[in-house]
Chains A and B, each alone.
Chain A
Amino acid sequence: MIKRLNRWFDDRLGASGFVRTALNKVFPDHWSFMLGEVALYAFLLLLLTGIYLTFFFEPSLKEVVYHGAYRPLRGVEMSQAYESTLRLSFEVRAGMVMRQMHHWAAIVFLAAIVVHVGRVFFTGAFRRPREINWIVGCSLLVLAMANGFAGYSLPDDQLSGTGLRIAYSIALSIPLGGTWVAYLLFGGEFPADSIISRLFVIHVLILPALILGLLGAHMAILWRQKHTQFAGPGKAEDNVVGSRLWPSYALKSTGFFFLVSAVIAFLGGLAQVNPIWLYGPFRAADVSAASQPDWYVGWLDGALRVFPPWEIRAFGHTVPGVFFPGVLLPTVSFGLLFGWPFIEARFTRENDREYHLLNRPRERPVRTGIGAGVISFYVILFLAAGSDVLATVFDVSVTGLLVAFRVALLAVPPVVTYVTYRLCKEAGSLSDEEVAPPVVVRTPSGGYLVEGERHGNGGDGVDRADGIREKR
């Protein structure tokens, strides 16, 4: 029966050759290669849950009076966006769990992307020929962050509205054209009337379409170039060792999709996220203590808190303080991130040929050290974003904490870089001697001889076709 179906399709598409090649395609199995899959499946869940939400959400700032199920807000004036989100959460069966799954999926989506980028970085998988895919991937990171921000701003609640105000101020701070950028984006002076409906189009149509397109490119390039792999027995620059797409990889991956969905489903039902009814509808003159953005924007919020009060005022113009942490820092950060393969290649000259075997992080002490230092920089910014919550929880002074973070921002990353570098050097020189057990042979005269030992050591080696690393 299947055979006949196959035959029917093949008669019309002539694809069976391609399909056979595809099903036999080999993918390496290392667990750290599955991180991108976590992100992919989280995105799939975002699409599925998101479609459901679009059937109920009203992207309008038109004021209505609430008469729904949540008693503490009955009779309160609020936007239709907020009201429809309340209705979805409290009165639509499965609405709350869908909404929470959607939000948790976004949180996990970005966490997975970040960990995946980290894996690619620390194993040098961005080297030639994968520079293009690195750029595609970094673009996906930026788009995902933007879409997450747009998404949680849609309900027009007090917390996300505060975040929109800050985003507006950051736009205003751009020299020369900032006021125009802010006014065109928002449709006028804050709060303006159009921002929610525009964010809706951005969040539901424009960014998902871009993400889908880039995701397609990301996987097509991966398919064409084949996945990288770690060095090991039987693995070389010119082969791929792992499972075939069909049946084992497909089944494992499909099973993994269900596991990802399961985790998000558990979170969606058991852990409350973004309880907008407790925050209240957005009011321009109100604000709450402990106002933070979702985690993946935390580095930006922390930067805003920690940057000193520097402003440029000259010749009748102002470059306001928010510009430096709010615009300049992200531009430089992403510029360095996008450009890393080219920056590194300038120093290592590793764009002379293709690289398909991965580095173990300790084999590249400089890169790993720099990466660890950069991560520590952003971790400190994240912590700074929560300084008021940390001060409350640990009963310390929030102003003291912020001063400490300023110092830490300058002092900690160099130390982390150096320590990591040293650790890599130590680990590289100690443990990576892969010595096969020596073959001891008894000579005819009765003595013992050790036959030629096979060495493999990590770091500074050239991969031979038989998987053995030769010292340079």
Chain B
Amino acid sequence: MGRRRAVSLVVAGGVASLCLAAPAPATAGRAATTVAGGDVRQGQELFVTGCSTCHGVRGEGTQRAPSLLGVGAASVDFWVSTGRMPLKSSGGRQAVRKPPGYDRAQIDDLIAYVTSLEPGGPGIPELQSASADLVEGGELFRANCAACHGAVGIGGALASGRRAPPLRPATARQVSEAIRIGPGAMPSFGPDVFGREQLSSIVRYVESLDHPDDRGGSGLGHAGPIPEGLVGWLAGLGALLLACYWIGERE
């Protein structure tokens, strides 16, 4: 925590000096490129404040963080809207989801700025909900995603202290972005691997996993035979042991 405060202080100091040094924003020069309605200028301000220490003032990267040149809108949107960026400074092996540090408008601004640095990278995927096929999505999910995220999307363990996160907290947009960009340890699946329709189908299936069909009773966390065995021992045999104790003699 101390490191974070120190960083903020340095940044605040930097911003203060910048604000003092820079002229007032000129409205005439505001024809900068905007993506999804974001404002490049405001994006730049936010970027300098919150991202440049690690990613470089012009997004070129430092030894602490990779270059953001050409990453594309989907990347920025995913990392920032899931709250994984800005990174928690307390070490850790991979960025974790947390409440995002920016609101929607600010994220759009950030997207606008970063994509203005260099073109390229996946854009925010457009999903076609009309042609999204739940069945095909399920088949593609089980073939490509379940190995890491689990058949019901509860997440899974990877090596080196990393994990594939549970999928329930992710929005449809975030799911589609992750598939395209392959964040962190995740591989990427470009448009040649999953076309737009297939992507929409997978996303539809992942959304359906938020409410899996549990008509058999309590889902027990959807973690398979382990919670089932626990329940069988504790609730099942446990209740019966109590019954034995009641019916039989104790000496």
Contacts and interface: CB of A to CB of B under 8 A. Distances in A.
Contacts of A104: 232, 236
A295 B147 contact: no
Interface in A61-107: 70-76, 89-90, 96, 100, 104, 107
A107 B135 contact: no
B215 interface: yes
B163 A277 contact: no
B249 A31 contact: yes
Interface string B208-251: 10001111111110111110110111011101110111111111
A190 B143 CA distance: 19
A270 B232 CA distance: 12
A308 interface: no
Nearest to B162: A397
B156 interface: yes
B145 to A, nearest CB: 10
A434 to B, nearest CB: 12
Given A104-B232, A295-B225, A399 B248 contact: no
A411 interface: no
A123 interface: no
Given A29-B249, A290-B223, A256 B243 contact: yes
Nearest to B234: A111
Q: What interface size band does chain A fall in?
A: 35 or more
Interface of B: 93, 134-135, 138-139, 142-143, 146-152, 154-161, 163-164, 205, 208, 212-220, 222-226, 228-229, 231-233, 235-237, 239-241, 243-251
Contact of A230 (B158, B223, B243, B251): B251
Nearest to A232: B251
Contacts of A280: 138-139, 142, 146, 151
Given A256-B247, A259-B240, A278-B212, A289 B235 contact: no
A252 interface: yes
B163 A391 contact: yes
Interface secondary structure of A, over-half rule: helix
Nearest to A77: B139
A395 B233 CA distance: 25
A100 B251 contact: no
Given A100-B217, A273-B216, A290 B150 contact: yes
A214 interface: no
Contact of A70 (B143, B164, B213, B247): B213
Nearest to A233: B251
A294 interface: yes
B247 A72 contact: no
Given A108-B232, A115-B237, 6 more contacts: A259-B243, A288-B142, A288-B150, A289-B150, A290-B223, A397-B157
A272 interface: yes
B147 to A, nearest CB: 5
Top-6 shortest CB links A-B: A31-B248, A295-B229, A289-B156, A272-B216, A107-B232, A397-B161
B155 to A, nearest CB: 6
Contact of A286 (B143, B155, B243): B143
Contacts of A396: 161
Contacts of A386: 226
12 contacts: A73-B135, A75-B135, A107-B228, A108-B237, A271-B235, A278-B222, A280-B142, A280-B151, A286-B147, A287-B147, A386-B226, A387-B157
B151 A274 contact: no
A269 B232 contact: no
A112 B240 contact: yes
Nearest to B212: A278
A289 B157 contact: yes
Interface in A206-259: 230, 232, 252, 255-256, 259
Contact of A293 (B164, B217, B225, B240): B225
A6 interface: no
Contacts of A33: 248
B224 A291 contact: yes
Among A112, A270, A275, residue most surrounded by chain B Cβ atoms (within 10 Å)? A275
A29 B142 contact: no
Given A35-B244, A72-B138, A107-B228, A290 B154 contact: yes
A260 B146 CA distance: 37
Contact of B240 (A70, A260, A274, A275): A260
Given A76-B139, A273-B228, A267 B236 contact: yes
B159 A399 contact: yes
A157 to B, nearest CB: 10
A388 B155 CA distance: 10
A49 interface: no
A76 B135 contact: yes
A466 to B, nearest CB: 17
Contact of B247 (A252, A287, A391): A252
Contacts of B217: 100, 269-273
A159 interface: yes
Contact of A267 (B151, B156, B229, B231): B231
A179 interface: no
Contacts of A359: none
Nearest to A110: B232
